[in-house]
Structure 1
Amino acid sequence: MAGSTVTFMLDFIDTAALRLDSSDLPSSFDERGSGSVLLNISRMEKIERRSASGCTEAFRIAIIDFLAGTLGGVATVLIGQPLDTVKVKMQTFPKLYSSTRTCLQETFRHDGIIRGLYAGTSPALVANISENAMLFGAYGVCQTVVKTMVGKRVAEDLSTAENAISGGLAAIFSSLTLCPTELVKCKLQALRETSGKKPTVTMTAMYRSIYRKDGFRGFYRGIGATVAREVPGYFAFFGGYEGCRQCFATYYKCHKADIGILGTAISGGVAGACIWLVIFPADVVKSRLQVLDNKTTSSTLQHLYYYVLFQLANSMLRSEGIGAFYYGLTPTLIRTLPATSILFLVVEFTKNILV
């Protein structure tokens, strides 16, 4: 019996050795209990040990960032969708909804939870999964580019400003995946107000309707406003996140990768507040432009997109004042603090396991 146990242990060790390369092994072992071994290694140590690897490892890290963003996007939607619906309604129909509470009550009373507060969840899931997967995947790649340009060894050594630049560059790519899905989400969320009927249209039907009416170009209605919103927004987003992480790292006298759950959650909340305070006016214009039917503008102006964008913003300023650009900010901030905290917790947890 003892001999067979020893043989099994040796086979197990041989198998494990084949699956691990030397960079995965820690410099020291912490033995506890009856011969068990704990690999006492921080995420930062793993990052540093893998930094010398070539293109294959860089591709693997990009896939991990992509997967982490995907899981983070799912968590964000499940938590924040009701308040996102309220935000879109208040942005688009400020005269109908004077407060967050009124909008919540009226939406629940007329449309219920699923077709009301969770209207647009399917496209929101598609939007957030595609956006965050692309965003975090591109962010890692952009960090690598910036890291190479400034001559630093690992991305974790980048300054707050350098990370912010990486985030702004990554937002260009995420905008291309976000615009079509967010267009459908906004239309579904505002369906009752624009059609006067109880919302029964599915995501697939809405995609078909847009394509029949405007073709492929119709899915990118609002792309200019989306890019104008996303680039400075994610500059502030990742700048706020990395800056807050650095503050925690300085306070705890550790590396940013090792600040723990509370530090990561607070940093994520700060990032969410930063992005929405910067992008909210552009987001209001984008939401209205996407929800408004094409017949609300002349056929000539439909071909002059940026003129239409400027005309809409100017019209809002003249008729409703500067406050029009901040309708829906309250539910957005209430939603974004827990949502972005969860987003970064899921992202960092996933990366910590897989890196």
Structure 2
Amino acid sequence: MSDVSSAEEATAKHGSSTAESIKSFVSGGVGGIAAVLVGHPFDLTKTRLQTAAPGTYTGAIDVVKQTVARDGATGLYRGVVPPLLGVTPIFAVSFWSYDMAKLLIYKVTPNRSSQDLSIAEFAAAGFLSAIPTTLVTAPVERAKVLLQVQGQGQGGPQYNGVFDVVKHLYKEGGVRSVFRGSTATVLRDGPGSAAYFAAYEVTKKLLTPAGADPSELNLGAVILAGGTAGVAMWSIAIPPDVLKSRIQSAPSGTYSGFLDCARKTIAADGVAALWKGLGPAMARAFPANAATFLGVEASKKLFEKYL
């Protein structure tokens, strides 16, 4: 088989048709919904640790105790509506963008010796996937963060829900206010997505028996690979995530940008503040992302079976 035909075979395998694009889009959305249902309490805990004044909480367990005492168990799902409303487009765009980025890599490297992408190429596709995804992620997370920090003693407006948040933000500063934190989101999700998808693909290959296709892995292996991907992402994403949370939750004018937020955070709370929320983020990383990829792969199999 020639190099060109090998690349063409890979292109066909990864899907260039409209049907394959739709499959990637919808499957990503299903995976995202699974991730939110499993991971939101961990995410709320992380965000409150990152944004609360020093001394508010003694740690992640204290966040949970205070939240449940004040709002009941349902308080752990405060702010869940924005990610649930936005999760389908966020994850749908992410997984669609990832598949399109892989296809792009094949197209710009026609004289390949192998149709298998390298670890660096998987990482590059993951990084590229974060760029269009930010258009959806940034405003959804802006609303989510504001709802999550509400009720922990901070001043500022009190919102009745996600639509009230968006209405207030737009009235306050237009589209710019709604999209505050976009730079921090890209700086978090670019490297994070590179690690995320590369770790998933590498782990799948390691778990695949000789002569078998990674796409035929059982669900247990998918869960392990997905959980590993989540751990890989959050191992490097916490510092920009801390800054993103602070930028998105602070009153207008508090920070002039990402670097200003980093400087003021370190000056006020020390370098260790950049790793606030690491515990709950890592606790969430495995189960939430195992659920994500389980949802993605299971929905793809349903597509293949019935469509």
Tell me the TM-score normalized by structure 1: 0.77
Task: After TM superposition, give the deviation of residue 52 of structure 1 in Å.
Answer: 8.0
Q: Within the alignment, does 1:293 sit opposite 2:242 as a pair?
A: no
Task: After TM superposition, give the deviation of residue 316 of structure 1 in Å.
Answer: 1.7
Q: Which residues of 2 match residues 239-258 of structure 1 at below 5 A?
A: 239-249=198-208, 251-258=209-216
Matched letter for residue 281 of structure 1: P
> Root-mean-square deviation (CA), in Å?
2.5
> What CA deviation, in whole Å up to 9, does each residue of 1:51-105 have, x standing for no partner?
289x9x6111011000001111111111111111001000111531121110000
Matched letter for residue 318 of structure 1: A
Q: Within the alignment, does 1:218 sit opposite 2:177 as a pair?
A: yes
> What CA deviation, in whole Å up to 9, does each residue of 1:206-227 have, x standing for no partner?
1111011111111110111111
Match of 1:259 in 2: 217
Task: After TM superposition, give the deviation of residue 156 of structure 1 in Å.
Answer: 7.4
Task: After TM superposition, give the deviation of residue 330 of structure 1 in Å.
Answer: 0.8
- Could you say if the C-alpha distance between residues 50 and 236 of structure 1 is closer, same or farther in structure 2, counting changes exceeding 3 Å? closer
Match of 1:95 in 2: 55
Question: Unaligned 5+ residue runs, structure 1?
Answer: 1-47, 298-304
Matched letter for residue 24 of structure 2: D
Task: After TM superposition, give the deviation of residue 293 of structure 1 in Å.
Answer: 0.8
- Aligned positions, number: 295
Matched letter for residue 269 of structure 1: G
Q: Within the alignment, does 1:132 sit opposite 2:91 as a pair?
A: yes
Task: After TM superposition, give the deviation of residue 266 of structure 1 in Å.
Answer: 0.7
Q: Which residues of 2 match residues 1-355 of structure 1 at below 5 A?
A: 51=12, 58-93=17-52, 94-114=54-74, 116-151=75-110, 157-193=116-152, 195=154, 201-249=160-208, 251-296=209-254, 305=256, 308-355=257-304
CA distance in 2, matches of 1:111, 1:335: 21
- Could you say if the C-alpha distance between residues 194 and 209 of structure 1 is closer, same or farther in structure 2, counting changes exceeding 3 Å? farther
> What CA deviation, in whole Å up to 9, does each residue of 1:27-70 have, x standing for no partner?
xxxxxxxxxxxxxxxxxxxxx799289x9x61110110000011
Question: Unaligned 5+ residue runs, structure 2?
Answer: 1-8
CA distance in 1, matches of 2:205, 2:13: 24
CA distance in 2, matches of 1:263, 1:152: 32
Matched letter for residue 202 of structure 2: G
CA contact (8 A) 1:111 1:198 kept: no
Task: State the structure with bigger RCO (CA 8 A, min sep 6), 1 or 2.
Answer: 2
CA contact (8 A) 1:71 1:347 kept: yes
| Secondary structure of 1:201 counterpart | coil
- Could you say if the C-alpha distance between residues 191 and 98 of structure 1 is closer, same or farther in structure 2, counting changes exceeding 3 Å? same
Identical positions, percent: 30
CA contact (8 A) 2:11 2:103 kept: no
**Whose radius of gyration is greater, 1 or 2?**
1
- Could you say if the C-alpha distance between residues 260 and 160 of structure 1 is closer, same or farther in structure 2, counting changes exceeding 3 Å? farther
Match of 1:31 in 2: none
Matched letter for residue 278 of structure 1: I
Task: After TM superposition, give the deviation of residue 196 of structure 1 in Å.
Answer: 5.1
Matched letter for residue 259 of structure 1: L
| Secondary structure of 1:243 counterpart | helix
- Could you say if the C-alpha distance between residues 211 and 50 of structure 1 is closer, same or farther in structure 2, counting changes exceeding 3 Å? closer
Matched letter for residue 120 of structure 1: G
CA distance in 1, matches of 2:35, 2:21: 21
CA distance in 2, matches of 1:296, 1:149: 44
CA distance in 2, matches of 1:50, 1:295: 47
Task: After TM superposition, give the deviation of residue 354 of structure 1 in Å.
Answer: 1.7
Matched letter for residue 286 of structure 1: K
CA contact (8 A) 2:10 2:115 kept: no
CA contact (8 A) 1:152 1:158 kept: no
Tell me the TM-score normalized by structure 2: 0.89
CA contact (8 A) 2:243 2:258 kept: yes
Task: Return 181-190 or 118-127, whichever deviates more.
Answer: 118-127
CA contact (8 A) 1:179 1:223 kept: yes
CA distance in 2, matches of 1:353, 1:281: 38
CA distance in 2, matches of 1:261, 1:151: 33
